[in-house]
């Protein structure tokens, strides 16, 4: 798998962060068993939240961008081209700058995912 494919996975997980979080809350509220799927969701939720904490500490503007781009706090997700154009006005930045920010945020999310074990890029398919 190449980095571009990993970034697609990271973007998918960022887009579905709120749904994963709601699913995990439902499992916890029902005192349900943590299935492998739920455990994987938890690792991705932790990765997103760890990245948000890091960005809030180091670059609050980029943290705000990450939240708005993927609708992490609610509201409309704006990760498509039309959404990025609308964010150029919010951030007073060129569209190319926001594409660069998105790429950097996804790269950081990949690192956070590797730290939580949500993504294991160098483990073979057989688990060795």
pLDDT for residue 80 is more than 80:
no
Helix axes 95-116, 3-15, angle to 10 degrees: 90
CA 120, CA 105: separation in Å to the nearest integer?
A: 18
pLDDT for residue 127 is more than 60:
no
Contact 84, 78 (CB under 8 A): yes
pLDDT for residue 2 is more than 90:
no
pLDDT for residue 20 is more than 50:
yes
CA 120, CA 128: separation in Å to the nearest integer?
A: 11
**Taking the CB of residue 62, how many other CB atoms lie within 10 A of it?**
18
- As a whole number, mean pLDDT of residues 86-113 equals 93
Instruction: Tell me which of 44-58, 79-93, 112-126 is least confident.
Output: 112-126
- As a whole number, mean pLDDT of residues 78-92 equals 84
N-terminal to C-terminal alpha carbon distance within the chain: 16
What share of residues in the chain are helix, strand, coil (percent, to 5)?
75, 0, 25
Contact 102, 84 (CB under 8 A): yes
Q: Decide: helix, strand or coil at residue 121.
A: coil
The pLDDT of residue 124 is 57
The pLDDT of residue 126 is 44
């Amino acid at each position: 798998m190449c980095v571009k494919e990993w970034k697609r996975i990271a973007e998918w997980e960022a887009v579905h962060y709120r749904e994963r979080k709601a699913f995990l809350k439902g499992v916890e509220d029902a005192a349900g068993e943590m299935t492998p799927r739920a455990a994987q969701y938890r690792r991705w939720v932790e990765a997103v939240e760890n990245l948000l904490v890091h960005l809030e500490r180091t670059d609050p503007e980029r943290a705000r961008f990450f939240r708005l781009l993927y609708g992490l706090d609610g509201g409309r997700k704006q990760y498509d081209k039309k959404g990025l154009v609308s964010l150029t006005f919010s951030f007073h930045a060129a569209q190319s700058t926001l594409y660069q920010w998105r790429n950097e945020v996804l790269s950081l999310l990949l690192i956070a995912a590797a730290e939580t074990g949500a993504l294991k890029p160098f483990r073979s398919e057989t688990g060795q």
